[in-house]
A and B are shown apart, each in its own frame.
Chain A
């Protein structure tokens, strides 16, 4: 393959790309690395193993996991409905799925919170009838994260579902499989990689989410304190070492989640394409 391209403008576009990328992304990331390298290891371990921080990780990961799980199931249903069925209001349904991307997180946060406090229109019903509090509990955090994560799974599955050739289903049908078996054995394996990909993207996003959660969480230590909020608290006390330590663990968790997804996706594509 030839290296030299006839199209002009490589130097110019490469230069612009590298310059802006360096200022906006690489330089700040480097200063994080430089700052982290100055931390003493024992101090780092002490910071991240404080009970309050540990419980923060637990709250963040567990609520993000459940919210993403619910979104995975509902995302599958939504994608299925949008691809396979014709019904009035379909375009409207398709359009509003993107709302969590377009609506500022803080706006979503205050709305969900104000609605679900024990005085709010929804929260009052749940509290009076079932004795369930929504705002200022982990349930509230989960609801805010469901709101944030809705588009991820739908938008991952939708294009894959659209591309599935009807022949496979016809073949399964002719061979005597009923709809349930066809779905389980033919369609589901095809969309599983997209489902996992959507789930992990939503999961990674939810762990780092701040704006929509901070209002509804109530921020009670050991109960509803999420990791981004703990970092924010350290920053407000100008304790940059502690903030960096907590952030490093969080970056590591995000890295692991995204790597697991990358490994699964490459396995699947290898299986499908037959190239090892």
Chain B
């Protein structure tokens, strides 16, 4: 083990650089948000976060996040099961398509939905007679949120399921277990921490999505403004206390997510 140790000075210089770098680039902006949110005291903060429109924006964000996490969990489980338990042609293409959304800029994600459901889009003429509006409305926001978080859960599950192999499921199937019994009793216990971890990541990203939602939202205060869009609106209106107070809600959520992530990772590691 001796050669693994650097000379003391080098070690502490590198550690110092690391703390300095992360301190300046990550922690400083974080503390700045909290400090600015409370600039006008607790009273000002409470007024800002209990504003009628702030609450409506938070509820919309909650709704979009909830729907996308549910759909992506359902999809992630099906896709991971399908991709890891069976051999079939076109697997590679399928997994490339699933991963595609994370490599696309959020603005382009918004653009492709505008092109699909907008006035010039291919689906507009089928949806319009029924009065279904997707873009510049809540369904567009939800779709955009699903898109940007699309592979988050399946990507966490696939490595775990690949490592686990198919022996146990085959044994269960031979003994006559039905699909859902196999899934519940054999597969799920293996992936539960990875699944929870994926859900946490998905929630984090869904809550904060800005670019894609910004394209598809009609920017109607109280109707199609999510929390990040509401923050933008306040900031551009020079209401800095309000913007940072609303941001602090998302900061607290981000910190909770980081703590959950650490806990889940440790739990997953301990079981393996």
- On A, residues with C-beta under 8 Å from B are 1, 3, 5-10, 12-14, 16-17, 20-21, 24-29, 31-32, 34-35, 74, 77-78, 80-82, 84-85, 87, 89, 91, 93, 95-108, 110-112, 114-115, 121-122, 143, 146-147, 150, 166, 169-170, 173, 179, 204, 207-211, 215, 228, 231-232, 235, 240, 243-244, 247, 250-251, 254, 258
Contacts and interface: CB of A to CB of B under 8 A. Distances in A.
Central interface residue in A108, A110, A254, by most chain B CB within 10 Å: A110
Nearest to A254: B103
Contact of B105 (A20, A106, A146, A254): A254
Interface in B158-183: 166, 169-170, 173-174, 178-179, 182-183
Interface stretch (B40-48, B50-58, B76-84, B125-133): B76-84
Nearest to A90: B15
A114 B232 contact: no
B18 A115 contact: no
Contact of B173 (A8, A16, A101, A107): A8
Contacts, number: 276
Contacts of B103: 204, 254, 258
Contacts of A250: 105, 108
Given A5-B87, A24-B147, A93-B22, A210 B210 contact: yes
**SS of B interface (majority):** helix
A105 B148 CA distance: 13
A173 B3 contact: yes
B107 A231 contact: yes
Interface of B: 3-4, 6, 11, 14-15, 17-19, 21-22, 25-30, 32-33, 36, 71, 74-75, 78-79, 81-83, 85-88, 94, 97-98, 100-101, 103-108, 110-116, 118, 120-123, 143, 146-147, 150, 166, 169-170, 173-174, 178-179, 182-183, 201, 204-205, 207-211, 214-215, 227-229, 231-232, 235, 240, 243-244, 247, 250-251, 253-255, 257-259, 261-262
